[in-house]
Amino acid sequence: MIKVVIIGDGYAAADLVRILYGHEKVQIVSVTSADNVGRRFSEVYPSLTGMADITLQETDPSQLKKQGDVAFLALPHGLSVPVVAELIEGGVRCVDFGADFRLRDVNIYKQHYLLDHERPDLLQEAVYGLPELYREQIRNTRIVANPGCYPTGASLSLVPLLQNGLISTSGIIVDSKSGVSGAGKGLSQTTHFCHVNENFKAYGVGTHRHAPEIEQELSVAAGKQVNITFTPHLVPMNRGILTTAYGELRKGVKPHEIREAMEDFYQGERFVKVLPHGVYPETKWVYGSNYAHIGIYVNPDNGRVIIISAIDNLTKGAAGQAVQNFNLMLGLDEGMALQSPGLYP
């Protein structure tokens, strides 16, 4: 059995425990917390009663590196770097849910997270954990930077088109709507029931921290700098992200080439499903699953390309993708514990 430690006890950690409970190669040996030390994990999340009765402990890397083979870190930004540094020195491979290893440029990290990166040398080693793009690199790394939930939906929608030079690198718009669990477990006025219920709003307009992460991956795909307009929205639902990405056909590109490129790119991919012509995804179709559904529309008159993707922000956007990365790192079947379809209705 592969011994796993989980650092953090927020919503993503809860979804991770839910998934790993069904993983035949995993033993969860410890889960840590800042606020619930001494309580059973199943007290914090009663849905996991009988499956996760482990007692939450403090985060002590010196002890954790003696207990686990792999660590999942579900911590706020800025807290993962020293923990990861100590764990990998002890031979523990790490999957980090946070932002500390996603951005390759330390200056961009400081600009958006207002922190100096403590270990820029480790950024050279860390691999961005989107398996559909970096599968082989993930197999051989000690550190996986699990992508943000918004960048997962946006990158899956646009990378194939930019990589194949089918859409312009300018004028790209990414419009995303997320369920409230994307804000995390902490209480705030903006996620209070009275604020969210019967309401729909944009937030982080022009300033959201996921924008540079999306631009980074799109720029790699395009082979040149890509700047986007990214606007996230908060929707009164628990979980899920629907992303609508807009681009322009490059001169000489035919509308049918968009669908052909998407289908070719994701041919054989287990967790990305390109939907038939005229079918557009809904968040409920992927609820609780590690799948991404993608719909395609190209306006032949004005060359506007519209790609719509749906993921579960806590699963393909966090814990499920982390397990997908874990499976790759350990040489296991990539889909272990992740085969369940979305819960519907």
Q: Hey, which residues are catalytic here?
A: 149
Helix segments in the chain, DSSP class H: 11-20, 41-44, 61-67, 80-89, 106-113, 120-123, 131-139, 149-163, 193-196, 210-222, 255-265, 320-329
Give the CA angle between residues 108, 113, 118 to the nearest 5°: 80
φ, ψ for residue 265, nearest 5 deg:
-65, -40
For 190, residues 6+ apart whose C-beta sits below 8 A from its C-beta are 183, 196, 203, 234
**Cα–Cα distance for residue pair 312/153, rounded to 1 Å:** 9
Q: What is the full DSSP assignment across 263-297?
A: HHHTTT-SSEEEPPTT----GGGGTTSS-EEEEEE
Place of tokens 């082989």: 136
φ, ψ for residue 194, nearest 5 deg:
-65, -25
Give how far Cα 150 sits from Cα of 95, 176, 244, 258, Å: 18, 7, 11, 22
**Cα–Cα distance for residue pair 219/217, rounded to 1 Å:** 5
Instruction: Report the b/e string of 124-140 with b at 16+ CB within 10 A.
Output: eebbbbbbbbbeeebbe
10 Å Cβ neighbour count for 111? 12
User: Angle 149-163/255-265 helices, nearest 10 degrees?
Assistant: 120
Helix (H) or strand (E) holding 176: strand 172-178
